[in-house]
A = this chain, B = another copy of it.
Protein backbone atom coordinates (compact mmCIF):
# COMPACT_ATOMS: atom_id res chain seq x y z
CA UNK A 1 0.00 0.00 0.00
CA UNK A 2 1.43 3.35 -0.96
CA UNK A 3 1.14 5.76 1.90
CA UNK A 4 3.66 8.42 0.97
CA UNK A 5 2.77 12.02 1.54
CA UNK A 6 2.87 15.02 -0.76
CA UNK A 7 5.95 17.21 -0.38
CA UNK A 8 5.68 18.67 -3.89
CA UNK A 9 4.82 22.19 -2.77
CA UNK A 10 3.12 24.15 -0.03
CA UNK A 11 0.42 25.02 -2.53
CA UNK A 12 -0.56 21.37 -2.77
CA UNK A 13 -2.18 21.78 0.63
CA UNK A 14 -5.71 23.02 0.98
CA UNK A 15 -6.79 25.96 3.11
CA UNK A 16 -6.56 26.51 6.84
CA UNK A 17 -9.89 26.00 8.66
CA UNK A 18 -9.77 29.59 9.93
CA UNK A 19 -9.75 30.83 6.35
CA UNK A 20 -12.78 28.80 5.39
CA UNK A 21 -14.54 29.97 8.52
CA UNK A 22 -13.78 33.55 7.61
CA UNK A 23 -15.37 33.08 4.21
CA UNK A 24 -18.52 31.97 5.94
CA UNK A 25 -18.48 35.03 8.17
CA UNK A 26 -17.88 37.33 5.20
CA UNK A 27 -20.92 35.88 3.47
CA UNK A 28 -24.43 37.00 4.21
CA UNK A 29 -25.64 40.49 3.53
CA UNK A 30 -24.86 42.43 0.39
CA UNK A 31 -21.68 44.49 0.26
CA UNK A 32 -20.30 47.02 -2.13
CA UNK A 33 -18.41 45.36 -4.97
CA UNK A 34 -14.86 45.82 -6.23
CA UNK A 35 -13.25 46.56 -2.88
CA UNK A 36 -15.50 49.25 -1.45
CA UNK A 37 -16.62 46.86 1.27
CA UNK A 38 -15.93 47.08 5.03
CA UNK A 39 -13.82 43.94 5.07
CA UNK A 40 -11.34 45.37 2.60
CA UNK A 41 -11.18 48.63 4.54
CA UNK A 42 -10.53 46.69 7.71
CA UNK A 43 -7.78 44.74 5.98
CA UNK A 44 -5.93 47.89 4.97
CA UNK A 45 -6.22 49.21 8.48
CA UNK A 46 -5.00 45.98 10.04
CA UNK A 47 -2.05 45.70 7.67
CA UNK A 48 -1.17 49.31 8.29
CA UNK A 49 -1.02 48.59 12.01
CA UNK A 50 0.99 45.44 11.51
CA UNK A 51 3.51 47.10 9.20
CA UNK A 52 3.56 50.31 11.27
CA UNK A 53 3.30 52.39 8.12
CA UNK A 54 0.82 54.09 5.82
CA UNK A 55 -0.02 51.60 3.06
CA UNK A 56 -1.79 51.19 -0.22
CA UNK A 57 -3.06 47.60 -0.35
CA UNK A 58 -4.30 45.69 -3.39
CA UNK A 59 -5.78 42.24 -2.74
CA UNK A 60 -4.92 39.86 -5.55
CA UNK A 61 -5.69 36.29 -6.56
CA UNK A 62 -2.21 34.93 -7.30
CA UNK A 63 1.40 35.59 -6.49
CA UNK A 64 2.27 35.80 -10.15
CA UNK A 65 -0.22 38.61 -10.61
CA UNK A 66 0.91 40.33 -7.42
CA UNK A 67 4.53 40.33 -8.54
CA UNK A 68 3.70 41.47 -12.04
CA UNK A 69 1.38 44.24 -10.91
CA UNK A 70 3.94 45.53 -8.44
CA UNK A 71 6.69 45.55 -11.03
CA UNK A 72 4.49 47.28 -13.60
CA UNK A 73 4.22 50.19 -11.18
CA UNK A 74 8.01 50.38 -10.81
CA UNK A 75 9.38 49.83 -14.30
CA UNK A 76 8.50 51.41 -17.65
CA UNK A 77 8.35 49.21 -20.76
CA UNK A 78 12.00 50.06 -21.41
CA UNK A 79 13.02 49.37 -17.83
CA UNK A 80 15.36 46.73 -16.49
CA UNK A 81 14.43 44.73 -13.39
CA UNK A 82 17.24 43.02 -11.53
CA UNK A 83 16.50 39.77 -9.73
CA UNK A 84 18.16 36.52 -8.82
CA UNK A 85 18.51 34.11 -11.70
CA UNK A 86 16.46 31.57 -9.74
CA UNK A 87 13.69 34.07 -8.90
CA UNK A 88 10.13 32.93 -9.57
CA UNK A 89 9.52 36.02 -11.72
CA UNK A 90 12.53 35.05 -13.84
CA UNK A 91 11.94 31.34 -14.23
CA UNK A 92 8.34 30.39 -13.59
CA UNK A 93 5.75 33.00 -14.53
CA UNK A 94 5.66 32.56 -18.31
CA UNK A 95 6.46 36.22 -18.75
CA UNK A 96 3.91 37.81 -16.45
CA UNK A 97 6.28 40.67 -15.53
CA UNK A 98 7.08 41.24 -19.20
CA UNK A 99 3.35 41.24 -19.96
CA UNK A 100 2.26 43.58 -17.20
CA UNK A 101 5.14 46.03 -17.77
CA UNK A 102 4.76 46.05 -21.54
CA UNK A 103 8.11 44.46 -22.28
CA UNK A 104 10.55 45.32 -19.51
CA UNK A 105 13.64 43.15 -19.19
CA UNK A 106 14.41 40.91 -16.25
CA UNK A 107 18.11 40.56 -15.60
CA UNK A 108 18.98 37.42 -13.68
CA UNK A 109 21.88 37.85 -11.28
CA UNK A 110 23.96 35.12 -9.68
CA UNK A 111 24.49 34.60 -5.96
CA UNK A 112 24.89 31.65 -3.62
CA UNK A 113 21.83 29.98 -2.09
CA UNK A 114 19.47 32.11 -4.21
CA UNK A 115 20.65 35.32 -2.57
CA UNK A 116 21.72 38.05 -5.00
CA UNK A 117 25.43 38.82 -4.82
CA UNK A 118 25.72 42.59 -4.22
CA UNK A 119 28.76 42.76 -6.50
CA UNK A 120 26.70 41.24 -9.30
CA UNK A 121 24.06 43.89 -8.83
CA UNK A 122 26.64 46.67 -8.99
CA UNK A 123 28.20 45.11 -12.08
CA UNK A 124 24.82 44.74 -13.74
CA UNK A 125 24.04 48.39 -13.10
CA UNK A 126 27.39 49.47 -14.50
CA UNK A 127 26.93 47.36 -17.59
CA UNK A 128 23.54 48.86 -18.43
CA UNK A 129 24.80 52.40 -18.24
CA UNK A 130 21.95 54.65 -17.21
CA UNK A 131 20.92 57.01 -19.96
CA UNK A 132 22.37 55.01 -22.85
CA UNK A 133 19.61 55.06 -25.45
CA UNK A 134 20.40 51.58 -26.73
CA UNK A 135 19.97 49.94 -23.35
CA UNK A 136 17.11 49.07 -21.08
CA UNK A 137 17.07 51.60 -18.28
CA UNK A 138 17.66 50.46 -14.70
CA UNK A 139 14.32 50.61 -12.93
CA UNK A 140 13.84 48.09 -10.15
CA UNK A 141 15.37 45.45 -7.95
CA UNK A 142 13.27 42.44 -6.99
CA UNK A 143 14.28 40.40 -3.95
CA UNK A 144 12.71 37.13 -2.85
CA UNK A 145 12.40 36.63 0.88
CA UNK A 146 12.46 33.79 1.84
CA UNK A 147 14.41 32.79 -1.26
CA UNK A 148 13.60 30.13 -3.83
CA UNK A 149 16.07 27.86 -2.06
CA UNK A 150 14.37 28.17 1.28
CA UNK A 151 17.11 30.38 2.65
CA UNK A 152 16.83 33.78 4.29
CA UNK A 153 18.59 37.04 3.62
CA UNK A 154 19.77 38.70 6.81
CA UNK A 155 18.48 42.23 7.33
CA UNK A 156 22.00 43.45 6.66
CA UNK A 157 22.18 41.56 3.39
CA UNK A 158 18.89 43.07 2.27
CA UNK A 159 19.99 46.51 3.35
CA UNK A 160 23.21 46.16 1.34
CA UNK A 161 21.21 45.41 -1.82
CA UNK A 162 18.50 48.01 -1.30
CA UNK A 163 21.17 50.64 -0.61
CA UNK A 164 22.87 49.90 -3.92
CA UNK A 165 19.47 49.97 -5.60
CA UNK A 166 18.31 53.23 -4.09
CA UNK A 167 21.61 54.97 -4.82
CA UNK A 168 21.01 54.04 -8.46
CA UNK A 169 17.41 55.32 -8.31
CA UNK A 170 15.93 51.84 -8.51
CA UNK A 171 12.77 51.00 -6.66
CA UNK A 172 12.79 47.82 -4.59
CA UNK A 173 10.22 45.04 -4.81
CA UNK A 174 10.10 42.07 -2.50
CA UNK A 175 8.51 38.83 -3.62
CA UNK A 176 7.11 37.62 -0.33
CA UNK A 177 5.46 34.41 -1.47
CA UNK A 178 6.84 32.96 1.78
CA UNK A 179 7.14 36.22 3.72
CA UNK A 180 5.38 34.80 6.76
CA UNK A 181 7.81 31.90 6.82
CA UNK A 182 10.64 34.43 6.81
CA UNK A 183 9.10 36.37 9.68
CA UNK A 184 8.43 33.27 11.70
CA UNK A 185 11.96 32.02 11.20
CA UNK A 186 13.75 35.29 11.83
CA UNK A 187 11.58 36.78 14.52
CA UNK A 188 11.64 40.10 12.66
CA UNK A 189 8.62 42.35 12.67
CA UNK A 190 6.83 42.94 9.37
CA UNK A 191 8.21 46.48 9.36
CA UNK A 192 11.79 45.39 9.99
CA UNK A 193 11.58 42.85 7.20
CA UNK A 194 10.16 45.27 4.67
CA UNK A 195 10.22 49.07 4.51
CA UNK A 196 12.74 49.47 7.31
CA UNK A 197 15.08 47.34 5.22
CA UNK A 198 14.48 49.44 2.11
CA UNK A 199 11.58 47.62 0.45
CA UNK A 200 9.23 49.93 -1.50
CA UNK A 201 6.63 47.36 -2.55
CA UNK A 202 5.88 43.95 -1.14
CA UNK A 203 4.03 41.05 -2.72
CA UNK A 204 2.62 39.45 0.37
CA UNK A 205 1.71 35.87 -0.38
CA UNK A 206 -0.73 34.11 1.87
CA UNK A 207 -1.90 31.29 -0.38
CA UNK A 208 1.05 28.97 0.30
CA UNK A 209 0.66 30.07 3.91
CA UNK A 210 -2.90 28.70 4.20
CA UNK A 211 -5.36 30.79 2.21
CA UNK A 212 -7.36 29.54 -0.78
CA UNK A 213 -6.25 32.22 -3.22
CA UNK A 214 -5.26 35.47 -1.58
CA UNK A 215 -2.25 37.70 -1.92
CA UNK A 216 -1.71 41.40 -1.48
CA UNK A 217 0.43 44.01 -3.12
CA UNK A 218 1.49 46.44 -0.43
CA UNK A 219 2.97 49.81 -1.39
CA UNK A 220 4.83 51.59 1.37
CA UNK A 221 5.06 54.68 -0.82
CA UNK A 222 1.53 55.52 -1.98
CA UNK A 223 2.83 57.69 -4.84
CA UNK A 224 4.12 54.49 -6.46
CA UNK A 225 0.60 53.09 -6.33
CA UNK A 226 -1.13 55.78 -8.34
CA UNK A 227 -1.54 53.60 -11.42
CA UNK A 228 -2.04 50.36 -9.56
CA UNK A 229 -5.81 50.13 -9.44
CA UNK A 230 -6.17 50.76 -13.17
CA UNK A 231 -3.48 48.22 -13.97
CA UNK A 232 -5.12 45.77 -11.57
CA UNK A 233 -8.50 46.27 -13.20
CA UNK A 234 -7.28 45.78 -16.75
CA UNK A 235 -5.46 42.65 -15.64
CA UNK A 236 -8.78 41.21 -14.47
CA UNK A 237 -7.50 41.08 -10.90
CA UNK A 238 -10.13 43.20 -9.19
CA UNK A 239 -12.54 40.76 -7.57
CA UNK A 240 -16.15 41.85 -7.87
CA UNK A 241 -16.86 40.19 -4.53
CA UNK A 242 -13.56 41.35 -3.13
CA UNK A 243 -14.68 40.85 0.43
CA UNK A 244 -13.95 37.15 -0.03
CA UNK A 245 -10.33 37.81 -0.91
CA UNK A 246 -9.92 40.39 1.81
CA UNK A 247 -11.56 38.09 4.34
CA UNK A 248 -8.96 35.42 3.65
CA UNK A 249 -6.15 37.90 4.09
CA UNK A 250 -7.68 39.30 7.23
CA UNK A 251 -8.23 35.88 8.74
CA UNK A 252 -4.57 35.18 8.27
CA UNK A 253 -3.08 38.37 9.64
CA UNK A 254 -5.78 39.35 12.16
CA UNK A 255 -4.65 37.31 15.15
CA UNK A 256 -1.26 36.09 14.11
CA UNK A 257 -2.60 33.08 12.24
CA UNK A 258 -0.13 33.62 9.38
CA UNK A 259 2.84 33.41 11.74
CA UNK A 260 1.52 30.39 13.61
CA UNK A 261 0.91 28.47 10.41
CA UNK A 262 4.28 29.51 9.01
CA UNK A 263 6.06 28.57 12.20
CA UNK A 264 4.53 25.12 12.03
CA UNK A 265 5.51 24.69 8.39
CA UNK A 266 9.04 25.84 9.20
CA UNK A 267 9.24 23.41 12.11
CA UNK A 268 8.22 20.56 9.81
CA UNK A 269 10.85 21.68 7.31
CA UNK A 270 13.56 21.65 9.94
CA UNK A 271 12.40 18.26 11.23
CA UNK A 272 12.71 16.93 7.70
CA UNK A 273 16.13 18.50 7.18
CA UNK A 274 17.45 17.23 10.49
CA UNK A 275 16.10 13.75 9.87
CA UNK A 276 17.74 13.64 6.47
CA UNK A 277 21.02 14.99 7.81
CA UNK A 278 21.10 12.27 10.47
CA UNK A 279 20.88 9.75 7.65
CA UNK A 280 23.98 11.32 6.14
CA UNK A 281 22.09 12.96 3.28
CA UNK A 282 23.64 16.19 2.04
CA UNK A 283 21.46 19.27 2.23
CA UNK A 284 22.06 21.64 -0.66
CA UNK A 285 21.09 24.68 1.41
CA UNK A 286 20.47 25.39 5.08
CA UNK A 287 16.82 24.73 5.94
CA UNK A 288 15.80 28.21 7.05
CA UNK A 289 12.09 27.76 6.44
CA UNK A 290 9.80 25.02 5.11
CA UNK A 291 11.88 23.73 2.22
CA UNK A 292 14.62 21.13 2.28
CA UNK A 293 16.78 20.41 -0.75
CA UNK A 294 18.27 16.92 -0.52
CA UNK A 295 21.02 15.47 -2.65
CA UNK A 296 19.75 12.01 -3.47
CA UNK A 297 20.66 9.27 -5.82
CA UNK A 298 18.09 8.86 -8.55
CA UNK A 299 17.43 5.28 -7.44
CA UNK A 300 16.63 6.50 -3.94
CA UNK A 301 14.21 9.06 -5.32
CA UNK A 302 12.52 6.38 -7.38
CA UNK A 303 12.07 4.23 -4.29
CA UNK A 304 10.39 7.11 -2.48
CA UNK A 305 8.09 7.67 -5.42
CA UNK A 306 7.22 4.01 -5.45
CA UNK A 307 5.95 4.51 -1.90
CA UNK A 308 3.75 7.37 -3.06
CA UNK A 309 5.85 10.31 -1.94
CA UNK A 310 5.60 13.41 -4.12
CA UNK A 311 8.42 15.94 -4.60
CA UNK A 312 10.18 17.70 -7.47
CA UNK A 313 13.73 17.54 -8.75
CA UNK A 314 15.25 21.03 -8.45
CA UNK A 315 17.84 20.48 -11.13
CA UNK A 316 17.58 18.35 -14.25
CA UNK A 317 17.03 14.78 -13.12
CA UNK A 318 19.70 12.44 -14.46
CA UNK A 319 19.16 8.94 -15.79
CA UNK A 320 21.84 7.79 -13.40
CA UNK A 321 23.61 9.55 -10.57
CA UNK A 322 22.47 11.98 -7.95
CA UNK A 323 20.26 15.02 -8.16
CA UNK A 324 18.97 17.81 -5.95
CA UNK A 325 15.36 17.26 -4.87
CA UNK A 326 13.06 19.76 -3.20
CA UNK A 327 10.75 18.75 -0.33
CA UNK A 328 8.27 21.33 0.88
CA UNK A 329 6.25 21.21 4.08
CA UNK A 330 3.18 23.30 4.83
CA UNK A 331 0.86 24.40 7.60
CA UNK A 332 -0.92 21.07 7.08
CA UNK A 333 2.09 18.78 7.26
CA UNK A 334 2.01 16.49 10.29
CA UNK A 335 5.09 15.35 12.23
CA UNK A 336 4.12 11.81 11.29
CA UNK A 337 4.22 12.76 7.60
CA UNK A 338 7.80 13.90 8.01
CA UNK A 339 8.80 10.95 10.12
CA UNK A 340 7.28 8.61 7.56
CA UNK A 341 9.38 10.25 4.87
CA UNK A 342 12.55 10.03 6.92
CA UNK A 343 12.07 6.38 7.77
CA UNK A 344 11.29 5.54 4.16
CA UNK A 345 14.44 7.42 3.18
CA UNK A 346 16.40 5.37 5.68
CA UNK A 347 15.12 2.17 4.12
CA UNK A 348 15.67 3.44 0.59
CA UNK A 349 19.28 4.31 1.38
CA UNK A 350 19.95 1.05 3.05
Chain A residues engaging chain B, CB cutoff 8 angstroms: 5-6, 8-9, 11-15, 20, 23-24, 26-34, 60-66, 68-69, 76-78, 91-96, 98-105, 126-127, 133-137, 207-208, 212-213, 227, 229-231, 233-241, 243-245, 310, 316, 332
Contact = CB atoms under 8 A, between A and B. Distances in A.
B14 A94 contact: no
Contact of A61 (B77, B213, B229, B332): B213
A258 B293 CA distance: 45
Contacts of A234: 64, 68, 77-78, 93-96, 98-99, 103
A8 B32 contact: yes
A102 B76 CA distance: 11
Given A23-B23, A95-B136, A103-B103, 14 more contacts: A9-B33, A11-B33, A30-B332, A60-B236, A61-B213, A61-B239, A76-B230, A77-B102, A78-B234, A96-B233, A103-B234, A137-B230, A207-B240, A212-B244
A230 B15 contact: no
A95 B99 contact: no
A150 to B, nearest CB: 17
Contacts of A233: 64, 78, 93-94, 96, 133-134
Nearest to A33: B11
Given A20-B24, A233-B64, A235-B96, A241 B103 contact: no
A346 B62 CA distance: 47
Given A23-B20, A66-B236, A136 B11 contact: no
Contact of A235 (B12, B76, B235): B235
A240 B63 contact: yes
Given A213-B61, A244-B15, A236 B96 contact: yes
B99 A105 contact: no
A207 B92 contact: no
B34 A14 contact: no
Nearest to A15: B27
Closest 4 CB pairs of A and B: A65-B236, A6-B30, A98-B103, A11-B240
Interface centre among A9, A14, A24, A243 (most CB of B within 10 A): A14
Contacts of A230: 76, 78, 94, 133, 137
Contacts of A238: 62, 64, 133
B14 A31 contact: yes
B207 A316 contact: no
Contacts of A20: 20, 23-24, 27
A239 to B, nearest CB: 5
A311 to B, nearest CB: 12
B227 A76 contact: yes
A33 B98 CA distance: 23
A29 B64 CA distance: 24
A317 B127 CA distance: 11
Contacts of A65: 235-237
A152 to B, nearest CB: 22
A33 B12 contact: yes
